[in-house]
Structure 1
């Protein structure tokens, strides 16, 4: 039988199940509902051919995300680990591909997303309480430092904060839904000439807005009764997000119309302003700041666990693989993530294209590795079928095949959309390949899969 390096959870100071059902749901919902739902609908409306297509793609995005969550739930149930995707790729394909994924998370995906969310938070807080020319950068830096410090203190502090911030975030979305569907005057319907070839582009933005659901697997080793709970947590969390997204986009359409949504850079603020006047526009700034704060906190929690897995798999990075038994957190891994994110915030101070840059910088890399995780499910199901008490994805192999096909299509669409900008992510992976040659060293003691 094939052997793989030891899971991060097989070592001293390993994670232990300290999180309940509500913490898992709060992480799933909180990391998905970020600033994107206040920005992406305008891009989706601009590419959609009709209101039906606009709403239909949000429903399709939720369905595809739930299908992906079922695949991830089997992997997390059968192979629970703080390493999440890193561990799945390591068990299925070996350390080299897992390292490239971990490197991409550290250098591109997680730290870049954290810096972006910090800037979104900084922009909106600065509008409410300006502190000078560099208010946004200052608030963004303080956010990264503050959340890193909070979660360094322990998972209880970070997860508890996540729960209450997620409640506030959902309440804010409900306010926008009520404003658009009940209070604001209805916009005059418009008819748009049919457009072709826009589905791939639309789905890139929609699924980017749904992005983050896979992060739940990073707490699979810390979730109580994870083998039975991981699937309900992910499906219920995404079900709630899909319902909220459909309602809020319906509210956008009713209040502004398809052309109004497409032409708005602040769609939620415009809806609130139509419903409540200038006070509504100010309220939405606070809502978006809370949404960015909630997603940023979840990003800090899950991103540090990838770095921890890197340290466990590669002896020359063992300082990253230290887990505090008293705080139940990977302290060194969290500090490194915070330092890189702060450097990205500082670098972005003198020129950034926030939302578009994240799409171009992260989407191709993200969808490539998501595709590889889908393939890993086939590999691991054949090599070592899940134990009887584990969750199994229904309608196998149909749902995993659909998930892989969707990921491949989105990988193609993200490359076609970003064009030459996709080479940035490829360049980062190439740097990771060079680092791999230096860090590979001896293989850790193997355990049977």
Structure 2
């Protein structure tokens, strides 16, 4: 029995355009302004670098197609939390929901809030701890906007995504040389003139897939999207195509405008390119673009993150207050407030670390990729358990989901290795241990009530 006291449930109020804006906004974050330099430095070759980006797009599309099958079969505000419940039962899905609420989504929001705070502090300083104050302010402001309703938050998301994409188009235009100050010609080595070690290729793919991360959140809006069940498939695929094309064009622009050597050694490649093309104003614009990218991802992550809390509230009587859904606004109000409090607590935790951004990365990535691997495996399990007619089936099954599962497993391993090297892996394990304790308490409470 649902724990939703209000009796209200998600309604189909979200337009396809708003859904695309949410997905694109989650994926295209601040990472695209940093990752191209890292990948260029690791590969040391233009051809291999671009191949890695294309490979990242293919792996992400494989995962998105898996999610499209699951989302059309089980449209639910709980997204992949709901898929895990179907495949493994409530215990595993609770731990995932716990991880999303305590580590994955809230950690991503805190991470991006630090990015926003860093850049806004250069524009308007709020004192010695300006970046932390800005991080707090933006979390509170965006929470309020989302409490107004899904239509308001989707409209804000669409506007932010347009601004974000415009910034990336400025980089593309600068690299091509149209409507800008002529850039001295750059001569790059021939494509595939050198081949990096296999291990280095894998490392480059880790960074690329992290930059593509977030498309999985599309499942959370499947129950609120206007149109037929086929609409979510079109939204997911179209969003990934937009993102892939933009990412590839940005990389080509950076190679064309800066060259392999300068791109590989640059600490702020996009700023360097815009500075060459537009002069000093170009370098200043990049700060605005990065801040907007952070804002876009924060807002989109808030939208989907609160829906995990809502789904947990429906499944667990002890968390039933989070299952309150305001149908007139299309928003889970209590779930949003809980998420906001946790995000602010993580900002406080990050403020105590030497680098708040790195701290968030170190303890969110291992948990995220581990559960994403389980979602990939759930497709195989649910194919065997549930013989319902599918509106959409993953093409080239089982090859497509296998590609996704292998990539997720590799990223989980790499993330744990990275966190271990930084001494941060225990934080993730402690969070999950507390989740096990919380699960035990809820189970005991339910047995007493029964």
* Length-normalised TM-score, structure 2: 0.92
For the pair 1:120 / 2:122, whether they are aligned, the reply is no
- Pairwise mapping of residues 5-24 of structure 1 onto structure 2 (< 5 A)? 12-24=7-19
Provide the secondary structure at the position in 1 that maps to 2:97.
Answer: helix
Cα contact 1:8–1:14 (8 A) shared by 2: no
Counterpart of 2:128 in structure 1 is: 133
Decide which of 438, 441, 448 is 1:438's aligned counterpart.
441
**Quick check: 1:25–1:233 contact (8 Å CA) kept in 2?**
yes
CA distance in 1, matches of 2:402, 2:446: 32
What is the Cα deviation at residue 411 of structure 1? 1.8
Q: Which residue of 2 aligns with 1:394?
A: 395
Shift of 1:184: 3.3
Alignment partner of 1:96 is 2:99 = no
Q: 1:199 aligns with which of 189, 198, 201?
A: 201
Q: 1:378 aligns with which of 374, 377, 380?
A: 380
* Aligned counterpart, 1:267: 269
How far did residue 439 of structure 1 move?
A: 1.4
Question: Residues 212-250 of structure 1: CA distance to partner in whole angstroms, max 9, x if unpaired?
Answer: 101111011100135111111111101110000001011
Alignment of 1:337-352 (within 5 A): 337-352=339-354
Unpaired runs of 5+ residues, structure 1, are 1-5, 445-449
> SS where residue 130 of structure 1 aligns?
coil
* Alpha-carbon distance in 1 for matches of 2:151, 2:239: 20
Question: 5+ residue gaps in structure 2?
Answer: none
**C-alpha distance after superposition, 1:116-147 (max 9, x if no partner):** 11111111122122232222112111100000
2:5 and 2:323 in contact (8 A); partners too: no
Contact 2:110 2:360 in 1 (8 A): no
**Distance change (3 Å), C-alpha of 1:71 and 1:386:** farther
Q: Supply the distance in 2 between the matched residues of 1:365 and 1:61 (Cα, whole angstroms).
A: 20
Contact 1:200–1:413 under 8 Å retained in 2: no
Distance change >3 Å, CA 305–CA 103, structure 1 → 2: same
Contact 2:3–2:316 (CA<8 Å) still a contact in 1? no
Alignment of 1:23-42 (within 5 A): 23-42=18-37
Q: In 1, are the aligned partners of 2:350 and 2:359 still within 8 Å (CA)?
A: no
Inter-CA distance 358–189: structure 2 relative to 1 (3 Å threshold): farther
- Distance, in Å, in 1 between the alignment partners of 2:432 and 2:395 is 34
2:171–2:273: 8 Å Cα contact kept in structure 1? Answer: yes
Write the mapping of 1:161-180 to structure 2, written as runs, cut at 5 A: 161-180=156-175
2: distance between equivalents of 1:279 and 1:368? 43
Structure 1 184/441 Cα, relative in aligned 2: closer, same or farther at 3 Å? farther
Alpha-carbon distance in structure 2 between the residues aligned to 1:112 and 1:248 = 27
Q: Distance in 2 between matches of 1:293 and 1:354?
A: 17
C-alpha deviations, 1:138-168, integer Å up to 9, x for none? 2111100000010011111101111111111
Matched positions, count: 438
Contact kept, 8 Å, 1:7 with 1:87, in 2: the verdict is no
Distance 1:359 1:344 in 2: 12
* Higher mean C-alpha displacement, 109-118 vs 124-133: 124-133
Distance verdict in 2 for CA 1:258–1:358, change over 3 Å: farther
Change (3 A) 1:66 1:225: same
Task: Report what 2:188 is aligned to.
Answer: 189
* TM-aligned CA deviation for residue 187 of structure 1: 3.4
Match of 1:403 in 2: 404
Give the deviation of 1:443 after TM superposition.
6.6
1:290-332 alpha-carbon deviations (Å, 9 max, x no partner): 1111111001100000011111111101111111122111101
Deviation of the 1:349 alpha carbon: 2.7
Bigger drift between 26-35 and 260-269 goes to 260-269
Q: How many Å separate the matches in 2 of 1:80 and 1:19?
A: 14
Q: Deviations over 1:320-377 (max 9, x none)?
A: 1111122111101101111111122233234343444343222221111111111111
Equivalences for residues 49-448 of structure 1 within 5 A: 49-182=44-177, 183-189=182-188, 194-388=196-390, 390-419=391-420, 420-441=423-444
In 2, Cα distance between equivalents of 1:287 and 1:375: 37
* In structure 2, distance between residues paired with 1:296 and 1:184: 35
Is the alpha carbon distance of 1:325 and 1:228 closer, same or farther for their aligned partners in structure 2, counting shifts above 3 Å?
same
CA 1:39–1:374 in 2, change beyond 3 Å: closer, same or farther? same
